[in-house]
């Protein structure tokens, strides 16, 4: 049976596009069956529509509380019976109830080398700290902000003269490479859990995640 992925997004959908490309090429390990946005006019909704993928808009501004929004969001996501829920630029902090409902099948990508720089403004923080490298981390989502078990990281050197925008652009290129790979690992059963520890192919995943190596 084909594995099912639900994508949650808020913006232009560039990471969703990379996942969609992998799916169309047969390298994702499953198919994207539903794309949900909390923002009207999100570019990712147009990408999904053009690809013939079902979409849903759940405008968070119409909800009095975060809990009521997440309840409706969870119901829509559950209707697709997903094997994996992927956050692709979804700019909402999810409630503990939502995260627990999809525990170990909820994945996110964060633009830093976690555990460094959870939260926002990651690229500027790396520059301000004088770091030699930045990067991105795919991780499972838990109740701790950007604190779930890392799966895969890509490192990007910081060049003299970089600003937050130039660094972000190079990191984003790596995000588009590693996210489909991590999703494939989940959907094809290469990621498993034993006694609370995350394993890949039966061996422990390093605390900061596997380090991406370009297969080419």
Q: Hey, which residues are catalytic here? A: 110
Dist. CA 203–CA 200, nearest whole Å: 5
Asked if residue 57 lies in contact with residue 46, where contact means CB atoms within 8 angstroms, the answer is no
Which residues share a beta bridge with 136?
154
β-bridge pairing 133-140 and 150-157: antiparallel
Asked if residue 48 lies in contact with residue 31, where contact means CB atoms within 8 angstroms, the answer is no
Dist. CA 73–CA 75, nearest whole Å: 5
Cα Rg for the chain, rounded, in angstroms?
17
Which residues share a beta bridge with 32?
5
């Amino acid at each position: 049976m084909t594995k099912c992925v639900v994508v949650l997004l808020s913006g232009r959908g560039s990471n969703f596009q990379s996942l969609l490309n992998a799916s169309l090429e047969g390298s994702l390990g499953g198919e994207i069956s539903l794309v949900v946005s909390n923002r009207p006019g999100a570019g990712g909704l147009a990408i999904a529509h053009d690809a013939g993928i079902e979409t849903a808009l759940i405008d968070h501004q119409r909800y009095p509380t975060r809990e009521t929004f997440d309840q409706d969001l969870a119901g829509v996501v559950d209707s697709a019976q997903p094997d994996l829920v992927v956050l692709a630029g979804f700019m909402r902090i999810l409630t503990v109830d939502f995260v627990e409902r999809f525990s170990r099948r909820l994945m996110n990508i964060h633009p830093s080398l976690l555990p460094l720089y959870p939260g926002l403004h990651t690229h500027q923080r790396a520059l301000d700290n004088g770091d030699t490298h930045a990067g991105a981390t795919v991780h499972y989502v838990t109740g701790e902000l950007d604190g779930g078990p890392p799966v895969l990281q890509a490192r990007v050197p910081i060049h003299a003269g970089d600003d937050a925008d130039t660094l972000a652009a190079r990191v984003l290129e790596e995000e588009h490479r590693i996210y489909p790979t991590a999703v494939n690992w989940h959907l094809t059963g290469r990621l498993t859990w034993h006694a609370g520890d995350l394993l890949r192919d039966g061996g422990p995943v390093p605390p900061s995640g596997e380090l991406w190596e370009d297969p080419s």
